[in-house]
């Protein structure tokens, strides 16, 4: 879990770097009439990697979205059963995504010319970088990491009865039960 949290934190900085790069791009383009040739491709790479690893990070941090207004009102045993079903669905999806990602990564990143020169899939732009190949490798790795986190959650659910998303405590006085409106002052 710590490794996933570290990877998620590092890749999240990609969004900050994207913002800085876009400032540089706008100043270069409109201030100096000299647009960059690299900003769009690097922004795409950083954004893709951050989003791909973000799912595993959110699962490790227990911050995935859920419908807590319904889930928190269910009996604990039913919550555990539904969580287990949800995790099993996640395992099926992520296993398929990891295998598909591996197939994509193999065909994009592990390409060689007859003389043995590495020739990964390229972007086709003027810069023509191998970033699409790297993104496909990242898809495979992120899906595998996310799958491992879900399997850990299932293990903890089965062995300890540990919920991934324990019910949230609702502070008293925030929603009067008779009206459904906010607090009155």
Model confidence over 59-91: pLDDT tens digits? 888 877 777 777 778 888 888 898 899 999 999
Over the stretch 116-174, which tens digit does the pLDDT of each residue have? 888 898 888 878 888 899 999 999 999 999 999 999 999 998 988 887 766 665 555 55
Token pair in block for residue 122:
């390229």
Give pTM, 2 decimals.
Answer: 0.79
The Cα–Cα gap between 183 and 165 comes to 26
The Cα–Cα gap between 68 and 95 comes to 27
Q: CA dist 166 to 5, 74, 95, 112, Å?
A: 19, 11, 26, 50
Half-sphere exposure of 138 (CA within 13 A, CB side): 21
């Amino acid at each position: 879990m710590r490794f996933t949290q570290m990877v998620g934190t590092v890749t999240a900085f990609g969004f900050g770097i994207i913002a800085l790069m876009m400032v540089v791009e706008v100043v270069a383009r409109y201030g100096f009439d000299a647009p960059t040739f690299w900003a769009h491709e690097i922004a795409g790479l950083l954004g893709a990697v951050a989003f791909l690893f973000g799912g595993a990070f959110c699962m490790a941090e227990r911050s995935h979205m859920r419908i807590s207004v319904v889930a928190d009102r269910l009996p604990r045993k039913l919550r555990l059963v539904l969580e287990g079903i949800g995790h099993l669905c996640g395992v099926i999806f992520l296993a398929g995504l990891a295998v598909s990602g591996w197939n994509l990564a193999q065909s994009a990143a592990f390409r060689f010319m007859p003389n043995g020169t590495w020739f990964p899939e390229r972007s086709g732009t003027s810069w023509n970088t191998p970033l699409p190949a790297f993104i496909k490798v990242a898809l495979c790795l992120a899906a595998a990491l996310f799958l491992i986190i879900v399997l850990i959650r299932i293990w903890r659910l089965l062995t300890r009865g540990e919920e991934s998303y324990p019910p949230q405590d609702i502070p008293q006085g925030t929603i009067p039960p008779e009206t459904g409106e906010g607090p009155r002052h």
